[in-house]
Chains A and B, each alone.
Chain A
Amino acid sequence: MSIAWYLAVSAIVFSLGAIGVMTRRNPLVVLLCLELMLNGANLALIAFSRMWGNGDGQILAIVVMTVAACEVCIGLGMIVAIYRRHLPIDVDELRELQG
């Protein structure tokens, strides 16, 4: 398949993730949708890397994966801390930084 098909799939995945971030209110699902957006970007990076035939895009995709893993680590830690404090697990009701 030509590169354009992969780019179309990556655009669709990215916008599905954006829809999820905007509409869902459980922070766990918001984190999952952030993963979707990062994966869409990764697919585009690897498709362009294949287009040019050099590996820079793949290295950038691996770095994006690292950053995504760090983001999951911190995000899930924050969700566990929110749960321990008996605060609502809902992004609309968590308005204050100082719980």
Chain B
Amino acid sequence: MSSVLFFLAAIGVITGATGVVVLRNPFYSVLALVIHLVSLAVLFLLLRAEFVAAVQVVVYAGAVMVLYVFVVAYVGGESDSIGERLRSRGAVGSGLRLGGAILGGAVCVELLIALLGTGLEAINGYGAGYSPGPQAYGTPAYIGKLLLTRFLLAFEVASFLLLIAAVGGVVLARRRGGLEDEDERDLLTPLEMLRPRGTGTMAEGVGRRSP
């Protein structure tokens, strides 16, 4: 049962990851990443990391992906032009992409050799013993106890990092003054305030507007 679930979830994880890399439209890439994250949460559950699986679904597949979808919808419409530019790059662009893929494949082979070719006996086992219970390995109580005792410093530093990131996100994405186009700006100079509206403009010159 658990091995069937493992293979289903692993197929979902790898298919979702491939979809993120391959799909041309960024919106579809985000949706493929959601599939990847939910399948990854199933793998975490199989590894008895219940709290991390719940955090993965709630924080990643919930909050972060909604942020991505909003930004893709805001920025969007660039996928076609980028794809056409990629094709117009011709031989150099496709050669670079092929080179990147070959390099990534080499990284994969190297990682597999490094992880599976080690002399560690334990990676062929099923992990340490596990006994269910309210304080068992991986439950929220267990993680909370660890976070607030042994890893208190990491917890505080992470919360500070979140604060800095929130402030930085607001600062980066805010609307700056002076960046709007000329017609969006409705600030009047003192000279414009003194004379009647529409005088001294090109519209008056051609007789469209008379004072």
Write the residues of chain A forming the contact surface with B, with a CB cutoff of 8 angstroms: 1-20, 22-26, 28-29, 31-33, 35-36, 39, 42-44, 46-47, 49-56, 58-59, 61-63, 65-74, 76-81, 83-85, 89-90
B203 proximal to A (CB < 8 A): no
Which residues does chain B contribute within 8 Å of A28, judged by CB atoms?
Answer: 26, 29, 68, 71-72, 75
Which residues does chain B contribute within 8 Å of A79, judged by CB atoms?
Answer: 71, 75
Cα–Cα distance between A16 and B16 once the two chains are bound (Å): 10
Which residues does chain A contribute within 8 Å of B21, judged by CB atoms?
Answer: 16-17, 19-20, 23-24, 33, 36
Which residues does chain A contribute within 8 Å of B111, judged by CB atoms?
Answer: 11, 14-15
Given A46-B44, A69-B64, A85-B179: A77 in contact with B169 (beta carbons within 8 A): yes
Residue ID in chain A nearest B114 by CB atoms: A11
Which residues does chain B contribute within 8 Å of A78, judged by CB atoms?
Answer: 172
15 of the cross-chain contacts (CB-CB < 8 Å) are A3-B122, A4-B124, A14-B108, A16-B17, A18-B104, A23-B21, A23-B96, A23-B97, A28-B68, A33-B20, A53-B127, A58-B51, A59-B154, A76-B67, A80-B75
Q: B168 and A62: CB pair below 8 A? A: no
Q: A69 and B10: CB pair below 8 A? A: no
Extra contacts besides A9-B14, A16-B20 (15): CB < 8 Å = A2-B124, A2-B125, A3-B123, A12-B14, A12-B17, A15-B105, A18-B107, A25-B86, A28-B75, A32-B33, A33-B21, A52-B128, A53-B137, A59-B154, A80-B75
Residue ID in chain A nearest B129 by CB atoms: A53
Given A4-B123, A14-B111: A63 in contact with B82 (beta carbons within 8 A): no
Binary flags per residue of B40-67, CB closer than 8 Å to A gives 1, else 0: 1001101111011001100110011001
Cα–Cα distance between A53 and B136 once the two chains are bound (Å): 10
Q: Which of A10, A67, A80 contacts B172 (CB 8 A)?
A: A80
